[in-house]
Structure formats: C-alpha cells, structure tokens
Amino acid sequence: MTDLKDPARDAARQALIAQRLRRRQAAATAARITPRPPDAEVPLSYAQERVWFMDQLAPGEAAYHIAVPMRVRGPLDVAALRAALDGLTRRHESLRTRFPADADGKPTVVIEESLEVPLTIVEVADEAAAQELVEAAAAEPFDLARGPLLRALLIRLAPEDHVLFLGQHHIVGDGWSVDVLLRDLVTLYRGGEPPALPVQYGDFAVWEARELAGPAAQGHLEWWKQRLDGITPLELPLDLPRP
C-alpha cells in the first residue's frame, strides 16, 4: 500500500511546484511592458496597421469611428470642459498621435508635444435637431495623416441641459478604452488627477514589435508552418460567381 504521507514525495512535489512558479514569474517578467527609451522610434501596432490600411482602401469610412454621446444635465462649465479635454491629450499620447505616410507610402507615427481638442458649441431648439447633429458628427471623416483624431461637440438644448459628443478614430482607441477616456475626462473636469500611467500605447507598440520579431514568435510561426504543411486548401462551393 502506498503511503499518502511520504515526506520524500511531498518534498519532491513542493520542489516541482516551486520550480514551475519560478518559470512562470520569469516568463511574466520577460513579457512585462516597460517605458521605451526616449530615442526609440515608435511603430504602429499590428492592430493600427490594419486600421490604417483599411482607411486607405475606404478613406473616411465611418465604421472605424467611435461615437460617444452623453446627456449632461445641470450646470456645465465650458472652460472646465475645455481644460479637461486638453488634459486628456496631455495624459494620453495616443490622442496626440497622427499617422502620415512616408516617401514610400508606409505609415509612420508622429506624436505631437501638445494638441488642443477641437470643441464645437452649438445651440438647438429640440432633441430632434440635437440627434441630427450627433449623427452628422459621428459620420464626419477623420484625416489620419493630419489629425486630430479626437474631437468634441457640445450641443446646448437649454441653459442646464446639454449633449456632449466625443468622436474618436479607432486607430487611437477602442471600446474598452472609452471607459478610461470618460473616467479621466470626468476626473479632470472636477479638478481631480487621474491615476498615474506607467506606460503609454507607444510603449506597447515598441514591446509588441520586439516580441514578434524575437525567437519565441518565430518558433510559434515555424511550428504552425510544419503543422499546416501539405494541407489541401478548403474549397467551399459558391452560390454564384464572385467579382
């Protein structure tokens, strides 16, 4: 009968667990994103490259616009709102970024030192008119090369009733980051200071490029090439000829 309380076996099990934990910690440390060197060239992330390419195929396509309309009731300090919008761009370098093409037509990253978010203020008579303005603002094209890629529209329905619309291009934001954007905007509007940012999006892009150019990524690529080698392409029947 096996002794379930064998001290030697328990010690070996504990040593194995400790070894695995050390390996996991080492892997996590190696993959940790850290601030890039000051002179590092910032590339587009792979996600940004994809969005940039789609914008070249269909310039101004509204499918890549992030529209954030908000109803604001009560007193609104326009000066504080402007300051909060400017605080967003100081805090998040992605909101100060534009993407011009170089001489070879490849996208580049230009991060401005400062950027004032365009804020348009209009008055309307009713909610129907406000809705029309929001829909038009949501479809207004962005210029990825010139920027800015964040803009604001404040619609005044009454002295203490407004609609605030934020328009952002998907190349500098996504659905998850909208929550961060709104959190920071409200905090700055109220005169507070949002939590410190240990890294910026450019730091991630530099880390991603380095990781995907390294031996680990190449090993994964070679593994899949071997696994898929010789597989016959899947021929799906079509209901009619495609252009």
69 φ, ψ (degrees, to nearest 5): -90, 140
CA distance 207 to 127: 46
Distances in Å between the Cα of 109 and the Cα atoms of 44, 60, 77, 206 are 6, 19, 34, 12
| Count of residues in the chain | 243
Q: Fill in the DSSP letter of residue 170.
A: G
Distances in Å between the Cα of 60 and the Cα atoms of 53, 106, 141, 145 are 12, 18, 4, 12
Q: Which amino acid is at 237?
A: P
Checking DSSP bridges between strand 65-73 and strand 97-98, what pairing results, if any?
Answer: unpaired
Q: What are the tokens at 134?
A: 């929001």
Per-residue pLDDT of the chain (243 residues; tens, 9 = 90+): 334 456 677 677 777 777 776 666 555 445 689 999 999 999 999 999 999 999 999 998 899 999 999 999 999 999 999 999 999 999 999 999 999 999 999 999 999 999 999 999 999 999 999 999 999 999 999 999 999 999 999 999 999 999 999 999 999 999 889 999 999 999 999 999 998 899 999 999 999 998 888 887 888 889 999 999 999 888 888 888 877
* Of residues 117, 100, 82, the one with CA closest to residue 171: 100
3-state secondary structure of 71: strand
Q: Which residues pair with 42 in a beta bridge?
A: none
Distances in Å between the Cα of 51 and the Cα atoms of 150, 154, 207, 211 are 16, 28, 19, 21
CA angle 87, 88, 94 (to 5 degrees): 135
Q: Which residues pair with 119 in a beta bridge?
A: 152
Q: Tell me what pLDDT residue 164 has.
A: 97
Angle between helices 46-57 and 201-212 (to 10 degrees): 100
Per the CB < 8 A criterion, the answer to whether 85 and 117 are in contact is yes
Q: Tell me what pLDDT residue 27 has.
A: 53
Q: Tell me what pLDDT residue 6 has.
A: 61
Q: Which amino acid is at 81?
A: L
Q: Tell me what pLDDT residue 13 has.
A: 72
Per the CB < 8 A criterion, the answer to whether 199 and 208 are in contact is no
Segments in the chain forming alpha helices (H): 7-30, 46-57, 78-91, 127-139, 175-189, 201-212, 215-228
